[in-house]
């Protein structure tokens, strides 16, 4: 299947709303529905009604993108006075900062951190609904989408991390999920941000993609071969069409198919999600990204190295990098005393255990007391941000890690 067709299939699968009228988290679902139905922002519609203080900020990147950040400065009902340790939460591909707020407060990492004494900052990456502005470009202009995850590491993260650092006067802890780990690792490998970061927790860490096993993801990545020139003009991956709709409606109509399992076909068999959260995710959390970002992931998958975006042209690469091929990111260059926690799943088909091991091999010279690797055998990719038991299996240990390195 051609890349464009795969893109339609993947995007529509994620964007379909399967209206699961199930018990649990209904109050939280109603808050998210109000976000969709009104012009209220994240603070007014989602955070404040749960009893948390919420603040909104705008940050401009060096290349002109205007990003929104949300801050939960303390736990529900306030808390003890004094400075709180800032933590920045960075979402993954096709998601935004609502990633950290999808579950009820006792299960959502942003709320859990706030209730445990942290000053929580939530980012929304360029192109997502809360960060779709630029100082001179409109999102309808293809030039707005002329970036890959290189720019997220080079511009977005320095802007958001730097803003929190300046605003709070403190080094911060970092939490990334999926692509939010790749951009951080890439920046760290070039010596960026490390002077402002106390420690980093990487959930479902993505670096190498050699062993990516998700059927749809692997097929789509393979289909990117030779697609750079033909897809460069597409502004985003948010391309559901009637053709895609008809295709998936016919698949979902088959009696042997449970459409809930489409998420498993994309991310691996997530063990611990409830239907209500999945419904919220599918209805509200698909966010556009640039086609160049997807091409960049395809290049990583097909070539087995972590490198900057390849323009598939010696002249274009020379103009961008001063050499005919894109330079590699060397994870072994990450400063050896930066505390890192890698938490990964045995069932994750996007961040495969063998790929995580390749990353750990690159980090083999890291200070032993500054590197923690946690394998959660039953978890897949989305469990780390949506599982009902993530607090017990992952977040409590993450908080202990942060407290140790505060």
What gap in Å lies between CA 402 and CA 173, rounded to an integer? 7
Residue 54 contacts residue 72 (beta carbons within 8 Å): yes
State yes or no: is 348 an active-site residue. yes
Please state the pTM of the whole predicted model: 0.87
The two counts, helices (H) then strands (E), for the chain are 18, 9
Compute the radius of gyration of the chain from its Cα atoms.
20
State yes or no: is 237 an active-site residue. no
pLDDT at site 302 = 87
State yes or no: is 367 an active-site residue. no
Coil/strand/helix, residue 105: coil
- The rounded Cα 147 to chain-centroid distance in angstroms is 16
What gap in Å lies between CA 331 and CA 211, rounded to an integer? 18
What gap in Å lies between CA 56 and CA 177, rounded to an integer? 22
Segments of 95-143 assigned E as strands: 118-123, 133-134
Buried (b) or exposed (e) across 208-220, using 16+ Cβ within 10 A?
bbebbebebbbeb
What gap in Å lies between CA 264 and CA 349, rounded to an integer? 9
Nearest partner of 190 among 305, 297, 361, 328, judged by Cα: 328
pLDDT at site 235 = 38
Helix, strand, coil percent values for the chain (each to nearest 5)? 45, 15, 40
Report DSSP letters for 194-212, one per residue: TTTEEEEEEES--S--TT-
> From the candidates 156, 279, 310, 348, which is the catalytic residue?
348
pLDDT at site 251 = 44
> From the candidates 178, 189, 199, 237, which is the catalytic residue?
178
What gap in Å lies between CA 231 and CA 93, rounded to an integer? 18
Residues β-bridged to residue 55? 71
Report DSSP letters for 273-313, one per residue: --HHHHHHHHHH------HHHHHHHHHHHHH-S-BPPP-S-
pLDDT 10s digit of each residue in the chain, 406 long?
444 444 444 444 443 333 333 333 555 556 665 555 555 689 998 999 999 999 999 999 999 999 999 999 999 977 666 689 999 999 998 889 999 999 999 999 999 999 999 999 999 999 998 999 999 999 989 899 999 999 999 999 999 999 999 999 999 999 999 999 999 999 999 999 999 999 999 999 999 999 988 766 665 565 555 544 444 433 344 433 333 344 444 444 545 445 456 677 778 889 999 877 777 777 766 788 888 888 899 899 989 999 999 999 999 999 999 999 999 999 999 999 999 999 999 999 999 999 999 999 999 999 999 999 999 999 999 999 999 999 999 999 999 999 999 8
> From the candidates 134, 296, 381, 405, which is the catalytic residue?
381
Nearest partner of 295 among 215, 220, 379, judged by Cα: 220
What gap in Å lies between CA 317 and CA 78, rounded to an integer? 52
């Amino acid at each position: 299947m051609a890349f464009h067709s795969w893109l339609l299939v993947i995007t529509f699968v994620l964007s379909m709303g399967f209206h699961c009228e199930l018990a649990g988290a209904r109050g939280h679902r109603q808050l998210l529905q109000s976000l969709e139905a009104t012009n209220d922002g994240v603070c007014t519609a989602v955070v404040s009604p749960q009893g948390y203080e919420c603040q909104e900020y705008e940050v401009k990147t060096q290349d002109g993108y205007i990003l929104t950040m949300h801050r939960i400065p303390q736990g529900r009902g306030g808390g003890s006075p004094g400075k709180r340790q800032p933590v920045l939460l960075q979402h993954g591909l096709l998601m935004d900062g609502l990633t950290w707020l999808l579950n009820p407060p006792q299960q959502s990492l942003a709320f859990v951190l706030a209730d445990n004494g942290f000053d929580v900052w939530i980012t929304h990456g360029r192109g997502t609904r809360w960060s779709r502005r630029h100082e001179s470009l409109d999102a309808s202009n293809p030039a707005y989408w002329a970036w890959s995850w290189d720019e997220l590491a080079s511009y977005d993260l320095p802007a958001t991390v730097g803003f929190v650092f300046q605003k709070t006067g403190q080094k911060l802890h970092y939490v990334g999920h999926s692509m939010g780990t790749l951009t951080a690792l890439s920046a760290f490998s070039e010596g960026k941000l490390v002077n402002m970061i106390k420690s980093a927790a990487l959930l479902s860490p993505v670096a190498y993609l050699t062993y990516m096993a998700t059927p749809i993801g692997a097929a789509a990545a393979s289909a990117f071969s030779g697609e750079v020139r033909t897809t460069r003009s597409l502004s985003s991956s948010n391309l559901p069409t009637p053709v895609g709709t008809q295709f998936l409606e016919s698949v979902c109509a088959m009696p042997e198919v449970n459409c809930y399992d489409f998420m498993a076909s994309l991310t691996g068999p997530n063990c611990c999600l409830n239907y209500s959260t999945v419904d919220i995710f599918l209805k509200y959390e698909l966010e556009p990204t640039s086609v160049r970002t997807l091409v960049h992931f395809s290049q990583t998958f097909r070539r087995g190295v972590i490198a900057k975006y390849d323009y598939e042209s010696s002249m274009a690469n020379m103009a961008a990098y001063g050499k005919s091929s894109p330079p590699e990111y060397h994870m072994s260059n990450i400063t050896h005393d930066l505390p890192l926690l890698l938490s990964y799943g045995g069932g994750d088909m996007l961040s495969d255990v063998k790929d995580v091991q390749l990353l750990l091999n690159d980090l083999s010279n890291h200070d032993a007391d500054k590197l923690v690797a946690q394998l959660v055998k039953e978890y897949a990719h989305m469990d780390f941000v949506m599982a009902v038991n993530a607090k017990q299996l992952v977040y409590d240990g993450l908080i202990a890690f942060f407290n140790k390195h505060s």
